[in-house]
Structure 1
Amino acid sequence: MSIRRPYIPVKIGFEETSLRIPIDAIVPLRQISETTRKSVKYGQIAASIAEVGIIEPPAVARDADQRDKFHLLDGHLRVDILRERGENEVVCLVAIDDEAFTYNKRISRIATIQEHKMILNVIKKGVPEERLARALNVDIQNIRLKRNLLVGICPEVAELLRDRHVPVNAFSELRRLKPLRQIAVAQAMITMNRYSVGYVRSMVAATPQDEFVEGRKPRKRVGVSKEQIELMERESEIVGREFNAIVKIYGVDNFDLSIAVGYVGNLLENVAVVRHLAQHHRDILSEFQKITDWQKAA
């Protein structure tokens, strides 16, 4: 016998229609530094706007006292770029006061494998690689490298690393290995929370020759003897055991910290709280944002 649950209406997070707002009427919650304007990310967003325009509208909330003023919740780089381009208006999503909503800035930057899938989907829709490269302000070779990211990577590794920020060249190292060794290396990366190319190369260097894909030979280890490689493997195992012991010791503290950071994150998902902090306690809001940004990067 099925139980019929009562209907609970879902609250919407934004006003039903987007709004074209003068850029001068939008108050940012943080300032964009000159260092940020010179960054690769800023340049990529600027190139994308120049090529295809604004794809995702910024999110704003109305000021409680001046209804024609808006606080910028998400899209600081996009709005700054438009202002630098001399634009006067931008279409925005207007958040509803009493609605808790997880804004895009609360989401971790796109993971490497997710970016790979996005590129594949865009190419399938008929967008030329050249245009995509212009939109992302990267060399076309970079697009092709990310398009072929999972060639030679076993599905289990793709699943393990799907939400991780792994350098593209790390996948080039992984595909030199047989599937079982790929999985072992990926699990070690997650356990040690290390995803650099250098770390992956060290794991590949410590891999026995019979665990390489046929036709892929181990890189020549200049100045490293067989005995030194065996020592590296033993030390790696010891480090792994010590790491697991430390995780157990600090497990309770990490749990408490995660709860505290989660609570701060929930506060910042509430539009009314963000507006109040922006108007009366900007320094506290800035520190709260640093805490949640740290959580995303961890």
Structure 2
Amino acid sequence: MAPLYVVTPQTKETVKFKRIVASIAEIGLVEPIVVTRDRQDPTQYTLLDGHLRLEVLKDQGATETPCIISTDDEAFTYNKRISRLATIQEHKMILRALTLGASEERLAKALNVNIKTLQDKRRLLDGICPEAAEMLKDKQVALTGFRILKKMKPMRQIEAAQLMVTMNKYTVNYAQSLLAGTPESQLVSGATPKKIKGISRQQLDLMERESANLEREVRLVEDSYGADHLDLVLARGYVTRLVSNERITRYLALHHEEFLPEFEKITEREAFVS
């Protein structure tokens, strides 16, 4: 089996690796490793996901392990879709381990966390609407970030998740800022955003309006992105054809010299002028 990368001795000293060691020792392998058949030699496999898990098993002397065979043989495509220890993925693994019969105490020991933290991880998606959970399923959002989202009503959760993904920000501070900019009508009963010193009610109202405007602008960009991209591709192709024509480039060089360098930048090539 050919791995995509080598697990170094330094990696084996990390907290993440030691946690996997403890987990496998306590409850066994919960998530099988993922492989794909080699195109040239069907008897060989390429390891797509589970490098650390496989290394732990090898260190323990294991000679075989359950595998999932991926029908997608493009390693980059597969790895782009999966998430490694993303918060929601960890939540699902915990639920699966509990379903398989592992006790909370044993699982908490395996993950090197206390019982309360494990229970929080188990209840991670309680109060999170499915649409928001789907958008954040492969993102590194802290437990506190999900607690903040739970203070919002479903539609606002979706808006907040969209902003997190668009801005590529999943920090607690960003989640708190989204909560601060959420109108009270979009908060669940009894939930109040944390008061921020030095910010008046008028400033919070302004943040709410700016947040709503940003959301509208994001949706407009998303709606028009595909058409705009297609237009740009077609326009670039047309300019490329123009610059590739010797007669046109000679004419531009003689009469519109200032345009030619810009066209060359667009096409990322040098025009032929003799």
TM-score greater than 0.5 by the shorter chain: yes
**Could you tell me which residue of structure 2 aligns to residue 132 of structure 1?**
107
The corresponding residue for 1:173 is 148
Which amino acid counterpart does residue 123 of structure 1 have in structure 2? L
Deviations 1:180-229 (A, max 9, x none): 43343234334444333222110111123344333333312111122322
* Pairing 1:184–2:178 present: no
Over 3 Å counting, the alpha-carbon distance change for 1:248 and 1:153 in structure 2 is: closer
Matches within 5 A, 1:206-217: 206-217=181-192
Task: State how 1:98-117 maps to structure 2 within 5 Å.
Answer: 101=73, 105=79, 107-109=81-83, 111-117=86-92
TM-score by length of 1: 0.58
Q: Provide the rounded CA distance (Å) in 1 between the counterparts of 2:69 and 2:123.
A: 39
Instruction: Name the CA shift for 1:78/1:171 in 2 (closer, same or farther; >3 Å).
Output: closer
Give the conservation status (yes or no) of the 8 Å contact 2:82–2:138. Answer: no
Counting only pairs closer than 5 Å after superposition, residues 40-79 of structure 1 correspond to structure 2 as: 40-55=15-30, 56=32, 59=35, 72-74=46-48, 75-79=50-54
Q: Which amino acid aligns with 1:143?
A: L
Indicate the SS of the match to 2:124. coil
The residue number in structure 2 matching 1:37 is 12
Higher relative contact order (CA 8 A, sep 6+): 1
CA distance in 2, matches of 1:108, 1:100: 12
CA contact (8 A) 1:42 1:77 kept: yes
Whole-Å Cα distance in 2 between the matches of residues 27 and 155 of structure 1? 37
Q: Does structure 2 retain, via aligned residues, the 8 Å contact 1:185–1:203?
A: yes
Against the structure 1 CA distance between its residues 105 and 37, is the aligned structure 2 distance closer, same or farther, given a 3 Å change threshold?
Answer: farther
Task: Sort the Cα spacing of 1:111 and 1:215 in 2 relative to 1 into closer, same or farther, 3 A.
Answer: same
Partner of 2:61: 87
Change (3 A) 1:78 1:152: closer
Aligned to 1:123: 98
Contact 1:45 1:136 in 2 (8 A): yes
1:225 correspondence with 2:162: no
**3-state SS of paired residue (2:47):** strand
User: Which stretches in structure 1 are left out of the alignment for 5+ residues?
Assistant: 1-25, 256-298
Give RMSD over aligned pairs.
Answer: 4.0
Query: Secondary structure of 1:73's partner?
Result: strand
Letter in 2 for 1:170: G
Distance of aligned partners of 1:76 and 1:218 in 2 relative to their CA distance in 1, 3 Å threshold:
closer
May I ask how many residue pairs the two structures share in their alignment? Answer: 225
Deviations 1:145-198 (A, max 9, x none): 111123333455445545554332111112223344334323433444433322
Deviation at 1:51, TM superposition (A): 1.9
Partner of 1:10: none
Residues 80, 195 of structure 1: CA spacing in aligned structure 2 closer, same or farther, 3 A cutoff?
Answer: same
Distance 1:102 1:128, change over 3 A: farther
Change (3 A) 1:214 1:192: same
